[in-house]
Copies of this chain bind each other. A is one copy, B any other.
Amino acid sequence: MQTVLKGATREATIDTEGQAVIVGERINPTGRKKLAAALQAGDMALVLESAAAQVAAGAEVLDINVGVPGLDDVAVLPRVVTVVAEAMGVPICIDTPNPAALAAALKVVPGKPLVNSVNGEEASLRSVLPLVKDRGAAVIGLTMDDNGIPMDAESRVKVAGKILERAAKLGIPAADVIIDPLVLTVGADSRAGVVTLATIERVRKEFGVSLNLGASNVSFGLPDRHTINQAFLALAVGRGANCLITDPGKLAGIIRATDLLLGRDEYAARYIAYFRALPKVTV
């Protein structure tokens, strides 16, 4: 099963049988004070620098989040989306919890974007899915609902099924819904990794759809977080995750290596391309 995201000039194919696609996560002001200040000042230089570094490091799609308290995201999100989409050419992942900002960004974004995200809550399903359908976008579906994040894989699989069913009713094909199994921190609950990995495996088996993962939460509060993030990405891709919202400057290597070891990289061509790009990825 596959969906082809489209940017101004480039495409990205998210394919359950293909190589993992990296969605660059760095255009997000959470924990990045300079980026937050630049967004508030309307200065696009840092955003574009981050965009270019991520694409050089292997991002095929760029996530854009402008969540700064007090910022008018309905005005700012479309502007940043437009600037990045035109400058980089890659497909955009529009990352906002605000349906009004999402609607505004969807009006200006070129091609076929990815929407981050819908979840199983009634309010989310009702506000986000019609926008996704009208625009012909793809969407990330988080496995949580009005009861919160389920602690077991079975319940998360049920939420995934609910999102897919509601999308289908509106005419959004399953190929355009990328399920995110969510991951809690393994330092707080030693079952956190197992539940997420089991959800990936079961959602793929039951529905055959693509699976997205944002991996960095899993290591929160533990030492040497990078090693945990690496192990988790390898395990998750090994179980079926094929879309990864992450920092390619830090984690493209383990993702390319995993695809190589899973037999998805003939002549190690993509792995070697990652290595050749390494000197450029220090931003």
Contact = CB atoms under 8 A, between A and B. Distances in A.
Interface stretch (A59-67, A88-96, A142-150, A254-262): A254-262
Contacts of A235: 234-235, 238, 258, 261-262
Nearest to A253: B227
A281 interface: no
Contact of A187 (B190, B227, B228, B268): B268
A157 interface: no
Nearest to A196: B261
Interface string A213-241: 00000100011100110111011001100
Contact of A193 (B187, B260, B266): B260
B272 A228 contact: no
Q: Which of A227, A231, A234, A267 has the most CB of B within 10 A?
A: A231
Contacts of A278: 224
B272 A258 contact: no
A186 interface: yes
Interface of A is mostly: helix
B190 A257 contact: no
Interface size class of A (residues with CB under 8 A): 35 or more
A31 interface: no
Count this chain's copies in the assembly: 2
B234 A238 contact: yes
Nearest to A222: B268
A185 to B, nearest CB: 10
Contacts of A280: none
29 contacts: A186-B260, A186-B261, A190-B266, A190-B267, A190-B268, A197-B238, A197-B261, A222-B268, A222-B272, A224-B257, A224-B278, A227-B230, A227-B257, A230-B230, A230-B234, A230-B254, A230-B257, A231-B254, A231-B258, A231-B260, A232-B261, A234-B235, A234-B238, A234-B258, A235-B238, A235-B261, A235-B262, A238-B238, A238-B239
Interface of A: 186-187, 190-191, 193-194, 197, 218, 222-224, 227-228, 230-232, 234-235, 238-239, 253-254, 257-258, 260-263, 265-268, 271-272, 275, 278
